[in-house]
Chains A and B, each alone.
Chain A
Amino acid sequence: MLDLTAIRADFPILQRTIRGKPLIYLDNAATTQRPRSVLETLQTFYTTYNANIHRSPHLLGQEATELYEQAHANVARFIGAEDEREIVFLRNTTEAVNLVGVSLLRPESGPLQLRPGDEVVITVMEHHSNLVPWQALCRQAGLTLRVADLREDGTLDLEQFAALLGPRTRLVACTHVSNVLGTINPVAEIGRMAHRVGALFFVDGAQSVPHMPVSVREIGCDFLAFSGHKMLAPMGIGVLYGRRELLEQMSPFLYGGDMIADVTLEGATWNELPWKFEAGTADVAAGIALGGAEDFRSGRRLLGAIDYLEALGMEEVRAHEQALLERLLEGLKGMPRLHIYGPEEIERRGAVVSFHVEGANPYLVAQLLDDEGIAVRAGGHCAHPLARRLGIPGTVRVSPYLYNTPEEIDQFLAVLEEIVRRRLP
């Protein structure tokens, strides 16, 4: 059981009021809030350790480098990666998808290069970040993009999925948890299907890694991407995990400083992993605020978002969210005019519930909730093809996190009921 009073005291923003009403923040699938410890780490980095990494000969630069590298190692541990060299810090999940796609199109990736006629398989429930890059890259390089469909209950149709795979399939990219439906996809099984036909398997973990224990070893994926800002870390820091032997063969994504070993006027050789993929000055402070690190000279610990999550325990975070989901779904089911999307079973859902109020614009519903201090998201949720597939203009999306309370869910349900029964046309 999470100690919600103590947890909420760690998040300064939760003290805010919105138009005089206590903020009820239920838009965590868009971005989460940050605990004081993470904010303090940003401050401590800039007040005590700020220097550029991997190039400064002074102690300050050495300390910054050590802290940043340790943050990579902590992220590796958090997702069960064997080697910190498999962890690339980027801006976000979107950048990670672009890295993999662009790199795999380049001849420098050798045998891994995707060539005209090759096929990439995704699903209809992908976020735009795991869809638009593949669309563009397939168009540019003459690849074929195939899209796996849903069943009525909002889960993937695995039989149809299997039928899309074949000898020309080179890459399967799939979200772990749908940011609209909440569906948890059986990624380990999909990974085995992809590997059986010799394809690489990319997992979008943006909605799973923040909410449940996720292990790349257990999934057996080749790549996993996620964003720090959806898991208590600052905006602008994200992670790509890639199997080492693949990253070693792959072409760099961006070219410039820090990603090189040596440069002549004629050309350059690349730095070792993961720096080959981290061109230019990175957001070092945000990286440390994600992974956490310790100054082994002074014993000072810079707490990262991962430290916060590990101290709570990911199993406990998941259990807490499931209890909230159960309460939420139960309450929504009793309301008139409401269509709830995604699987009915709590076990098959991440921390996302989307619904549509018949005849009502989802933006209007969200606005009326906002009037009462309740923050939710409305619209297509960066997954427009999915809304089209469901045949609706969009949904209202409620996404709780570890600091939300059962009382907040009850308050949300009471306000929504009032809106649905009395205030909507």
Chain B
Amino acid sequence: MTKLDRSNCEEAFRRLDDFLDRRLSPDEMRLIEKHLEVCAWCAREFNFEASVLDGLKRRLKQVDAPADLLSKILSRLPRREGHD
């Protein structure tokens, strides 16, 4: 890997989190995407990190509230004037 390549990889890696969260400017997003097209090593790392993030989000959303919680809470709210 040449010095220039390594520098590009470091620059790309520094932006990994912001890239995955799409927090970079459109220009920066494009620069990283271009780098990932030519650098298989970085592409593999970025792909893995994206897989971890997406996988965690998918799995952590599987929480159901107890079936009776809504009715229990609503029944305990004080009545408002003008509301039944």
Please say whether chains A and B are actual partners in one complex: no
